[in-house]
């Protein structure tokens, strides 16, 4: 059997996947499973323009450490788990992180900090109070756009 064209076929498949998919966000250092929702907005255009930053809110990987965090949930900013026993929110971790992120953006980006989205990827049973803590810190530095991440249920695609 002649298999000379097999590599070509496989490469074709490979290129298809390289183009059609996006690579996974860096593995968050917390465990989270997103809640489901419909009628969501697709964040791809913002990602392409790098007008979006992601933060994760979930249970720490090591269950024994859960008690060290406020409500047992930890926040992961660029893979660094942030917490102090009385809640990291007293330390302004989010506002400092967001500021740094914004300062590191490429110069060609014209969006002001108000418009740069901060996407909260929180576990479905995470307490909303923590989300509001994050929101408060973003408000403090005028980063005024927030996105609440969910998994799309798949129904109700655009337009229908």
Which residues of this protein are in contact with other proteins, per CB under 8 A?
A: 3-4, 6-7, 10-11, 13-14, 17-18, 20-24, 35, 37-45, 47, 54, 57, 71, 117, 119, 122-129, 131-132, 135-136, 138-140, 142-152, 158-160
> Which DSSP category does 40 fall into?
P
Residue closer to other proteins by CB (options 68, 146) is 146
Residue closer to other proteins by CB (options 9, 80) is 9
Smallest distance, Å, CB 117 to other proteins? 6
C-beta of residue 16 within 8 angstroms of C-beta of residue 78: no
Smallest distance, Å, CB 22 to other proteins? 7
Cα–Cα distance measured from residue 104 to residue 18, given in angstroms and rounded to the nearest whole number: 27
Cα–Cα distance measured from residue 50 to residue 67, given in angstroms and rounded to the nearest whole number: 35
Residue closer to other proteins by CB (options 88, 143) is 143
Smallest distance, Å, CB 77 to other proteins? 17
Residue closer to other proteins by CB (options 37, 63) is 37
Smallest distance, Å, CB 40 to other proteins? 4
Give the burial string for 55-86 (b: 16+ CB within 10 Å, else e). Answer: bbbbbbeeeeeeeebbeebbbbbeeebbbeee
C-beta of residue 146 within 8 angstroms of C-beta of residue 118: yes
């Amino acid at each position: 059997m002649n298999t000379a064209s097999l590599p070509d076929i496989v490469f074709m498949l490979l290129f298809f996947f390289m183009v059609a998919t996006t690579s996974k966000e860096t593995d968050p250092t917390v465990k989270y499973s997103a809640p489901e929702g419909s009628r969501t907005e697709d964040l791809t255009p913002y990602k392409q323009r790098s007008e979006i930053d992601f933060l994760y809110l979930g249970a720490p990987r090591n269950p024994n450490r859960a008690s060290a965090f406020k409500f047992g949930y930890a926040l992961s900013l660029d893979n660094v788990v942030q917490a102090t026993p009385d809640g990291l929110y007293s330390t302004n971790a989010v506002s400092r992180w967001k500021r740094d992120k914004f300062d590191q953006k490429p110069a060609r980006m014209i969006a002001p900090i108000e418009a740069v989205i901060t996407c909260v990827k929180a576990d479905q049973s995470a307490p909303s109070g923590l989300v509001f803590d994050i929101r408060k810190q973003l408000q403090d530095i005028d980063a005024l756009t927030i996105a609440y991440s969910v998994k799309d249920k798949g129904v109700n695609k655009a337009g229908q």
